[in-house]
Amino acid sequence: MSQVVSFHPPAAPVTLPTDATWPVEDIIALFELPLNELLSRAQEAHKAHFPEGDVELATLISIKTGGCEEDCGYCSQSSHHETELKASKILPLDEILEAARAAKANGAIRFCMGASGRSPKERDMPKYEEIVRAVKALGLETCATLGMLREEQALRLKEAGLDYYNHNLDTSPEYYPSVITTRNYQERLDTLGRVRNAGLKVCCGGIIGMGESRRDRAGLLAQLANLNPYPNAVPINHLVPIAGTPLANVEPLDTFEFARTIAVARIIMPKARVRLSAGRESMSEAEQALCFMAGANSIFYGEKLLTTGNAEAEKDRALLKKLGLKIKEIEADHHHHDHD
């Protein structure tokens, strides 16, 4: 009888190169600094690379939801978990554009589109390309997260006008198998390589508070910081536990540990936009302020712009105003600068 080949050959352990700029031990040493010293170092790095001190507003929309064949332990979209979520087809283009216009009108400069699934189906690629072209034509920066990509898919998205591709590493290589079994770490790194080779900017971060140790948080940041180059945008998500998922009852993470993670990310990836992403809604203003002080300078903003009369967006803008934080404006195309 022929031997059954498992869908996922065990991946070789993912290790950092021996000459890595940021060994895990050095990153752990940063985590262990007294908080005020860590914040002070993060602010120095932040000022040096972002003298404007502005915050970038990005709006995220799910253009295809649920029914995903992967088993990511944190996710409501996995068909492996019993959650309330119903699967949907790709949203019609006019609905996506309505959301993009609302986002732009509310000051967002980047429009991020997520589709559930392991990787884009070939038959859906022309649709995704059309969506990217149309959103780009509104004058927004475009970002997509569609799972694993093949080389030519990355090139086609670039050709359509995609600016950023998001593909998170989620956690450290060591902790990863206890969260996800349907895709290995190396496959994530391979997708990032293809995205970079296609000339797309990389948006890549992870999720904090999934029951991982501080060493795992340092391990995730080490993987990110030692990518060559490190990502342009680094979303730091705070786990939002969802009923029906394996991580529904995980012990909540301490706020200061979350802020430390942001500060360390800022120090070791000083030029990246570090984004305060999922989980921000449940943070108090003081907790969010601490994250901005730690060097976060991008937020996901106004996901419900179309449905809740912008109360959420207003609240976000009011907080930024209280903290005296400027909002990043869309940069004009370079050819407009000739007349300055």
From the list 110, 112, 273, 280, the catalytic residue is: 112
Question: Letter for the amino acid at 207?
Answer: I
Neighbours of 111 (CB within 10 A): 26
Can you tell me the distance from the alpha carbon of 130 to that of 162, in angstroms, rounded to the nearest whole number? 11
- The DSSP bridge pattern shows strands 273-276 and 56-64 to be unpaired
- Amino acid identity of residue 297, one-letter, is N
Catalytic member of 266, 273, 275, 317 = 275
Q: Is 143 a catalytic residue?
A: yes
Q: Which member of 110, 188, 194, 203 is catalytic?
A: 203
Q: Any residues with CB less than 8 A from the CB of 222 and at least 6 apart, and which?
A: 16, 20, 22, 23, 24, 27, 172
The yes-or-no answer on residue 204 being catalytic is no
Tell me how far apart the alpha carbons of residues 245 and 228 are, in angstroms, rounded to a whole number: 34
Write the single-letter amino acid at 303: E
Spell out the alpha helix ranges (H) of the chain.
Answer: 24-31, 35-49, 93-105, 125-137, 151-159, 185-197, 214-225, 255-268, 285-293, 311-322
**C-alpha span between 165 and 143 (Å, rounded):** 5
Judge whether 291 counts as a catalytic residue. Answer: no
| DSSP 3-state of 166 | strand
Tokens representing 159? 């050709």
Measured distance CA(91)–CA(267) in Å, rounded: 39
Eight-class DSSP state of 217? H
Both structure tokens of 86: 């119903």
Q: Which residue has the tokens 């936009």?
A: 273
| 13 secondary structure, DSSP code | P
Catalytic residues: 68, 72, 75, 112, 143, 203, 275
